[in-house]
Amino acid sequence: MTFPEELSCRELVELVTDYLEDALSPAERVRFEEHLRACPGCETYLEQMRRTIDVLGRVTEESLEPAARDQLLDLFRNWKRGDRAN
């Protein structure tokens, strides 16, 4: 159940900082939010990022706990295997 314009989880993870910094285009933002509605894993990821920003003031790749990020990316790989070739 994927659509051509649907964001993959990996893309969402890559866009999350732009989303939180309000740097996405309107079209990207819509796709981002549509993915969130359908994907509890990414919703959780976004919440983690929000909390990180609350604590640190801003977010970087490095500020996310590596173990947590790897775990999420493993989940994504299992869910979306073959979803989209890189």
Chain residues binding Zn ion by CB under 5 A are: 9, 39, 42
Residue 76 CB burial class (10 angstroms; 0-12, 13-18, ≥19):
buried
Q: Which is nearer to Zn ion, 15 or 39 (CB)?
A: 39
What's the closest the beta carbon of residue 34 comes to Zn ion, in angstroms? Answer: 11
Q: Which is nearer to Zn ion, 46 or 59 (CB)?
A: 46
**Residue 40 and residue 75 in contact, taking contact as beta carbons nearer than 8 Å:** no
What's the closest the beta carbon of residue 35 comes to Zn ion, in angstroms? Answer: 6
What's the closest the beta carbon of residue 38 comes to Zn ion, in angstroms? Answer: 8
Residue 23 in 3-state DSSP? Answer: coil
Distance CA 36, CA 85 (A): 21
Paired tokens of 35: 């993915």
Q: Which is nearer to Zn ion, 41 or 53 (CB)?
A: 41
